[in-house]
Amino acid sequence: MEPKPWRDRVHEEEELLAQLNRLVSESATRRAKALRDGVKELGSVAEVARVLGRSWNAVDKALKKHDRKKAPDPDAATTE
C-alpha cells in the first residue's frame, strides 16, 4: 500500500489543528465561566485562586484573556 501524498497529509493535519483550536477555545470559555461563578460565590478572584491553589495573577489573567476574546456588546454605547 502506498502512503498518502504529502499534500493530503498536510491538509488532514491542518484540519486537525483547526479542530483542536476550536476545542481549546470552547474549553477556555467554559473555564472562564466557571471562574466567574467562583468569584460570584466566593466574592473575589483572590479567594478563588486560594481555593484552587493557584496564584491570584493566574486566575485574573485567565479571566482577562477571555474578556478580550469576547465580542463587544451590540447594545453598548459607542464613542462615535
For the stretch 14-26, pLDDT in tens is 999 999 999 999 9
Q: Is the pLDDT of residue 78 over 90?
A: no
Does 15 reside within a domain? no
> What range defines the domain where residue 55 resides?
25-68
Under 8 Å CB-to-CB from 78, ≥6 apart: which residues? none
What pLDDT band is residue 74 in, cutting at 50, 70 and 90?
low
Per-residue pLDDT tens over the stretch 13-70? 999 999 999 999 999 999 999 999 999 999 999 999 999 999 999 999 999 988 887 7
Distance CA 39, CA 49 (A): 9
Whole-model pTM? 0.73
Can you read off the three cell numbers belonging to residue 8?
493530503
Query: Domains in the chain: how many in total?
Result: 1
Does 80 reside within a domain? no
